[in-house]
Structure 1
Amino acid sequence: MLAAPLSGYLEHIKVQRRLAPRSLVIYADALLRLQNLAGAGGIALLTLRPHQARSLAAKLHGEMDLGPRSMALHLSVWRGLYRWLGAERLVELNPFDGLRAPKAAKPLPKALAVDDAVQLASFSGGNAADGAQALDARLEARDRCMVELLYGCGLRVSELVGLDLQAGPASLGWIDRQAAEATVLGKGSKRRSVPVGSAAMAALDQWLQVRGQLARSDEPALLVGQRGARLGAVQIRASLKARALAAGMPAHVHPHMLRHSFASHILQSSGDLRAVQELLGHAHITTTQIYTQLDFQHLAKIYDAAHPRAKKKQ
């Protein structure tokens, strides 16, 4: 259990920053780890000094074998804790100021090629080449709608899970069919609206024709499982993985890969980074800029394949 100052900070960020439940679990885990490390070393948290902070950070890397990204996350949480403790006049300084984790390599997000993404979105489970029994038509309609919304709107899996059939007082998200727009609740509890393309709207209409045969009468969720309740993130990932394998995709496909594909393909076609930022709901354009590297890789491949001076001698 967290000590009073740490639990107070956790409650503060829960109320003030309105973090998602999963983020709160991550913060609580980092705070508990700080409390345990300090307790094992006989260090009082409210009198923690910079050299002791460096020692605790070293233990993250040495004893706990955390990678650079995990270390950076922990140090960010700890730094925020002491910033709050200072504002509450419980400490005199922030011992984690200036303390940074080792730099981690930044792998590029994985995106499908345009042809592969279109093939997956157009795939019909009932026409499997291996002669397998056709999928339940209702689940087929649902999964096609799922893929179209992920790839056609660039939604996060949590945003897709939160979509309701229609707007309501407790709705996290919904689709306005008349306006062809999806309203979702993204990171930081920020709402945004994204356009829903004609292909996604067609898939949505097909799903809505059979949704009532699966959904419970009082279930508000847009996507439901075989038991009639809201479809969860784990179920969406499993369904997408199975669908991608059946469609002959060259790699493991997960929901965020379709979001990356959405961003990359929009940027390739338009070159409008600011628009992609708005569609993805990124708070900072620096987050979106990683897709310019994907776009450059695309151009480099075209150059290597087409330019006479790029071709290797046979």
Structure 2
Amino acid sequence: MTAEGDALFQRCEEYLRYLRVERQLSPLTISNYQRQLQVICEFFTAASLSAWSQLTPVLIRSMAAASRRAGLKASSLALRLSSLRSFLDWQVSQGLLVANPAKGIATPRAGRPLPKNIDVDSINQLLSIDLNDPLSVRDRAMLEVMYGGGLRLSELVNIDCQHLELESGEVWVMGKGSKERRLPIGKTAVEWLVRWLEMRELFLPEDNAVFVSQQGKRISTRNVQKRFAQWGVLQGITTHVHPHKLRHSFATHMLESSGDLRAVQELLGHANLSTTQIYTHLDFQHLASVYDAAHPRAKRGKT
């Protein structure tokens, strides 16, 4: 990178340090910001920008247009512009810039397709693992906890032994933005956790991680993804099984059974209700029955 690029990215490093230390964002989120800012710096360096104070809306639109020509999807371009906008907002708050030149740049709209869920019968088929070898017991416990509590993958792998309250059937997890929440996980999940914890010491665990690999280390997210996919095939599930699909299935089944959007929001750890509304969906038949039962005009003609 040139001297100009170094000067631009040095300011980015200060921002990333702010996100890590003061905002305490997750390593994955910081990594995403770093990757986007790296590309942004490279583009503006090639455009002969030597200081962020020289940045203009015209240059930002030029970057957006070049990204589109390079085949960047609308959702990825929106992420890039959002990263830049947040970074420039921080500079304004620090008195490093007078105004944010990205404020007036429209973010491309991208459709948000609903994640596909696994139906209840297929979930039961997936979870009917009844083997007693340690790895199978561990994987069944992970699947039960993931589906039983609607956890994110990062939340699952970061559970420590002290985070479990097996008597009450609860687990403490650390969600996005370092927000803790306590979740019920269900009787079956507790039973398989108990079985797994009895076998866990066979792997000589290095720390307090509940779920460990064969080497005794905290299991990685990639390992969990791989194991879930393998069990999907072994159990005859016709759709690809991955952690996010289990989380979405949990949310969908809970919402279809209860209709309580706010409760599902709390269980999922969503900051905004609108996120839950997009993330979960009710089948039309259920929506229609709610409408028929609740709407005054729907009830007017009934005897």
2:141 is aligned, of 145, 152, 176, to: 145
Query: How big is the shift at 1:83?
Result: 1.0
**SS in structure 2 opposite 1:184?**
strand
Q: Work out whether residues 47 and 91 of structure 1, in 8 Å CA contact, stay in contact via their aligned partners in 2.
A: no
Q: Which stretch shifts more, 266-275 or 18-27?
A: 18-27
Is the contact made by 2:256 and 2:283 (CA closer than 8 Å) also made in structure 1?
no
Question: Which residue in 2 is equivalent to 1:160?
Answer: 156
Report what 2:298 is aligned to: none
1:26-37 alignment to 2 at 5 Å?
Answer: 26-37=32-43
Letter in 1 for 2:244: H
> Are 1:117 and 2:113 counterparts?
no
Instruction: Report what 2:214 is aligned to.
Output: 226
Please tell me the root mean square deviation across aligned C-alpha atoms, in Å.
Answer: 1.9
Query: Counterpart in 1 of 2:55?
Result: 48
On the 8 A contact 2:256/2:286 being kept in 1, the answer is: no
Which of 179, 198, 202 is the equivalent residue of 1:190? Answer: 179
User: 76-85 or 87-96, which moves further after superposition?
Assistant: 87-96
| Cα offset, 1:260, TM superposition | 0.4
Separation (CA, whole Å) in 2 of partners of 1:107 and 1:266: 20
- CA offset digits 1:1-46 (Å, max 9, x no partner): 5633222111112222211111111111111111111111112422
Moved >4 Å (runs of 4+):
297-302
Letter in 2 for 1:42: S
- Any conservation in 1 of the 2:129–2:136 contact (CA below 8 Å)? no
Contact kept, 8 Å, 1:30 with 1:77, in 2: the verdict is yes
Give the Cα separation in 2 of the matches to 1:163 and 1:299. Answer: 35
Change (3 A) 1:109 1:157: same
Q: What stretches of structure 1 of length at least 5 have no aligned partner?
A: 127-135, 167-173, 303-314
Cα 1:146/1:108, change in 2 over 3 Å:
same
Paired amino acid for 1:184: V
8 Å Cα contact 2:56-2:101 kept in structure 1: yes
Q: Any residues of structure 2 matched to 1:216-255 within 5 Å, and which? A: 216=205, 218-255=206-243
| TM-superposed deviation, 1:123 | 2.9
Structure 2, unmatched stretches of 5+, are 1-5, 290-303
Question: In structure 2, what is the Cα distance between the partners aligned to 1:208 and 1:300?
Answer: 42
Separation in 1, partners of 2:228, 2:74: 30
How do 1:256-271 and structure 2 match up within 5 A? 256-271=244-259
Q: Distance in 2 between matches of 1:224 and 1:26?
A: 26
**8 Å contact 1:46–1:91 — kept in the other structure?**
yes
Counterpart mapping for 1:269-308 below 5 A: 269-292=257-280, 294-297=281-284, 299=286
One-letter amino acid matched to 1:57 = A
Alignment partner of 1:3 is 2:19 = no
Number of positions where the alignment pairs a residue of Structure 1 with one of Structure 2: 282
TM-score, normalising length: structure 2? 0.88
Tell me, yes or no, if the aligned pair for 1:267 and 1:291 is still in contact at 8 Å: no
Q: Give the Cα separation in 2 of the matches to 1:234 and 1:3.
A: 30
Cα pair 1:20 1:189 within 8 Å, conserved: yes
Partner of 1:66: 72
